[in-house]
């Protein structure tokens, strides 16, 4: 049995819905703002014939919302993952990311990553739940902190994934609507050097510069990049020193590591954690490690992709997957648990995390249909 599927007559309604979510700005660090967004989704969900659970946030982050079809029971089912936080600070909506339509483009903070996709999944979930058309129980987890590594939602994501047969993630589509079946693993590291300060004019010989030592560490870390092995290392932030005429006592960096395989992650994690200072009078402390495990394309994920292709073919959508992408998502956690995961099911567009972030209107109805079709046919 199939419920009526989305068509062109639904487009205006879907755009209005996306707008209502995008116009509630929700940067991860602003807990009250994220919770206003959770309020909105909860209000949209309450009228549906589903079970709504809201869990108070932890660690100073926003709340977690879980929506379930009523037949959920104990059978393993489908888990949909969306995040409600964005990287954009409050004010982007009144500034460069005013919600607006320009040809096929729809602009707004987080519209592409990922409120557009989250809303389409919500609309598909609502249609399937209302028509009682899913073959499996469906749980829909909406989280508050993906953009900073899902520190407070990872446990909930993994607990739900362990009960699921399939996971669908609504991160943005890419490269012309492609979905994602593999992602690199992500490591994050914090390095601090503590040197010996001195007056740069009168006592230069007494000083041991934290910045000079860190410069060596930066080059050592950046030098670990190996494109042939799919390994990249980036020192993305640096901070140190107090004045032009002081040999600096402190320097701090954050480093980012991307790898294709679990073993490579372990190898480079240990390489970074065992870095030593060249100047023995400077102390080097390193914390961190792999944050998201690699999401590798298994035969089960290949089969799930085939299913998505079958669903798409029925209405003329050619579903392709990308090469392994460097960006991590919550799909990394679920794929690493061995649960077949399809990602990049969200809206298509461009400019994630930028002042020109936009979604493609032409992708709205096809993506909603694709998600709905998966919910109705998996199992």
Q: Which residues bind Zn ion (CB under 5 A)?
A: 113-114, 171
Smaller CB separation from Zn ion, 114 or 129: 114
Task: Give the residue ranges of DSSP H helices in the chain.
Answer: 11-22, 31-45, 116-131, 154-162, 210-222, 262-273, 299-313, 331-336, 364-377
Using alpha carbons only, how large is the chain's radius of gyration in Å? Answer: 23
Smaller CB separation from Zn ion, 343 or 376: 343
CB of 377 to Zn ion, least distance (A): 25
CB of 83 to Zn ion, least distance (A): 6
CB of 194 to Zn ion, least distance (A): 36
CB of 179 to Zn ion, least distance (A): 14
CB of 146 to Zn ion, least distance (A): 6
Smaller CB separation from Zn ion, 117 or 277: 117
Contacts of 9 (CB under 8 A, 6+ apart): none
Q: Are 118 and 346 in contact (CB under 8 A)?
A: yes
Which of 41, 53, 51 has its CA nearest to residue 72? 51
Q: Are 231 and 257 in contact (CB under 8 A)?
A: yes
| Residue showing tokens 């060249």 | 278
Smaller CB separation from Zn ion, 86 or 249: 86
Task: Give me 197's structure tokens.
Answer: 């300060």
Crossing angle (nearest 10°) for helices 116-131 and 11-22 = 120
Length of the chain (residues): 379
Q: Are 360 and 116 in contact (CB under 8 A)?
A: no
CB of 110 to Zn ion, least distance (A): 8
Smaller CB separation from Zn ion, 151 or 215: 151
Q: Which helix (H) or strand (E) holds 69?
A: strand 64-69
CB of 321 to Zn ion, least distance (A): 17
Smaller CB separation from Zn ion, 171 or 296: 171
Eight-class DSSP state of 5: P
Smaller CB separation from Zn ion, 105 or 183: 183
């Amino acid at each position: 049995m199939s419920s009526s599927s989305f068509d062109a007559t639904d487009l205006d309604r879907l755009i209005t819905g996306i707008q209502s979510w995008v116009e509630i700005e929700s940067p991860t660090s602003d807990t009250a703002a994220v919770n206003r967004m959770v309020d909105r989704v909860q209000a949209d969900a309450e009228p549906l014939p589903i079970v709504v659970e809201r869990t108070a946030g932890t660690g100073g982050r926003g709340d977690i919302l879980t929506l379930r079809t009523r037949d959920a029971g104990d059978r393993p089912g489908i888990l949909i993952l969306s995040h409600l936080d964005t990287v954009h600070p409050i004010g982007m909506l009144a500034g460069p990311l005013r919600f607006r339509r320009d040809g096929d483009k729809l602009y707004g903070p987080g519209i592409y990553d990922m409120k557009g996709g989250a809303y389409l999944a919500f609309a598909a979930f609502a249609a399937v739940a209302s028509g009682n058309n899913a073959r499996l129980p469906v749980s829909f987890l909406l989280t508050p902190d993906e953009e900073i590594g899902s520190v407070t939602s990872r446990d909930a994501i993994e607990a739900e994934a362990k009960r699921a047969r399939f996971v669908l993630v609504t991160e943005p589509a890419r490269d012309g609507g492609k979905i994602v079946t593999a992602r690199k693993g992500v490591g994050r590291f914090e390095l601090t050097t503590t040197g010996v300060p001195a007056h740069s004019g009168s006592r230069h010989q007494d000083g041991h510069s934290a910045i000079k030592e860190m410069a060596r560490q930066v080059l050592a870390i950046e030098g670990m990049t190996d494109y042939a092995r799919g390994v990249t290392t980036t020192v993305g932030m640096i901070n140190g020193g107090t004045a032009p005429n002081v040999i600096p006592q402190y320097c701090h960096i954050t480093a980012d590591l991307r790898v294709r395989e679990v073993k490579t992650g372990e190898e480079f994690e240990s390489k970074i954690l065992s870095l030593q200072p060249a100047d023995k009078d400077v102390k080097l402390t390193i914390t961190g490690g792999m944050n998201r495990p690699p999401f590798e394309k298994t035969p089960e994920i290949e089969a799930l992709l085939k299913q998505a292709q079958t669903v798409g073919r029925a209405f003329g959508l050619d579903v392709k997957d990308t090469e392994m992408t460097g960006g991590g998502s919550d799909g990394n956690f679920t794929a690493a648990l061995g649960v077949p995961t399809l990602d990049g099911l969200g809206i298509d567009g461009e400019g994630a995390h930028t002042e020109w972030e936009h979604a493609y209107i032409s992708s709205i109805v096809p993506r909603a249909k694709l998600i709905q079709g998966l919910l109705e046919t998996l199992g």
